[in-house]
Amino acid sequence: MKVLVAVKRVIDYNVKVRVKPDNTDVDLNNVKMAMNPFCEIAVEEAVRLKEKGIASEIVVVSIGPKVAQEQIRTSMALGADRGILIETEDKLESLTVARLLQAVVEKEEPQLILMGKQTIDSDNNQTGQMLGALTGMAQGTFASDVAIDGDKVKVTREVDGGLRIVTLELPAIVTTDLRLNEPRYATLPNIMKAKRKPLAIMTPADLGVTMESTQTLLKVVPPAERQAGIKVADVAELVEKLKNEAKVL
């Protein structure tokens, strides 16, 4: 089984995001970048499938600037076999990303596509669903457990009411949730080996995809400062403030 894993380069989740002085975008200068946490979970799941003898090859694909090779190399250090970088400096939108991934899927013909349910920068949670619509593949989103059984994959999904189990025919798309697994750390020997693994560089034009923008960014502003809380002496005072000041009762 060939497994295709999509990963994205984002600001490290430990970094406090800053807005540019002119409010045109987020300031990325001298900011630590990392692999999107949900994408790390997708890579880990693919590696576990390979360790079980289910997956025969893991291909990692990323879309972004040349420096996104770093996240692909990290994935290969974790256990992926080869990587593909679709190099572009254009601002990425979910539909464009889905179209690029569709072209890669048609080229690579994987049996399973793993990707994070969302990225922590745009937080859209829609690329996996869009890719499913474009490819016509079955999809299981918000996966907290993935089990392969022959030509089917059983996905346990986290929904508002609890857990829902769906069985999909392969090839299929699965988007990963936080509780699916805990990603491992790359060891130094594997980091060195990853430098010798194949990494193909291509452009959107190579895949026949036009980078069209359907959205206009008007302004980026930081969130408002939180106001200090207050202490109340008893329940009666709490109810009074909720009723007369907060006006939520």
Query: 3-class DSSP state for residue 206?
Result: helix
Residue 179 lies in a domain: yes
- What's the number of domains the chain is made of? 1
Give yes or no for a contact between 173 and 115, defined as CB atoms under 8 angstroms apart: yes
At 225, the amino acid letter reads E
Residue 238 lies in a domain: no
Give Cα separations from 158 to 62, 76, 205, 247 (angstroms): 26, 29, 37, 34
Name the β-bridge partners of 5.
Answer: 60, 114
Name the β-bridge partners of 169.
Answer: 152
Q: Which domain holds residue 212?
A: 2-222
Considering the chain, what is the average pLDDT of its residues?
94
Top pLDDT among 141 and 227 is at 141
Residue 229 lies in a domain: no
Residue 173 lies in a domain: yes
Taking alpha carbons only, the member of 173, 137, 177 closest to residue 157 is 177
Place of tokens 């025919």: 169
CATH of the domain at 178: 3.40.50.620
Taking alpha carbons only, the member of 48, 59, 65 closest to residue 197 is 59
**Listed range (67-81, 96-110, 139-153, 221-235) with the worst mean pLDDT:** 221-235
**Tens digits of per-residue pLDDT, 37-92?**
999 999 999 999 999 999 999 999 999 999 999 999 999 999 999 999 999 999 88
Residue 232 lies in a domain: no
Residue 248 lies in a domain: no
Burial group, residue 220, by CB count within 10 angstroms (0-12, 13-18, 19+): middle
**Listed range (83-87, 100-104, 216-220) with the worst mean pLDDT:** 216-220
Residue 157 lies in a domain: yes
Place of tokens 């408002």: 224
Specify the pTM. Answer: 0.88
Query: 3-class DSSP state for residue 60?
Result: strand
> According to the model, what pLDDT value does residue 227 have?
83
Residue 84 lies in a domain: yes
> According to the model, what pLDDT value does residue 1 have?
94
Contacts of 126 (CB under 8 A, 6+ apart): 94
CB atoms within 10 A of CB 170: 16
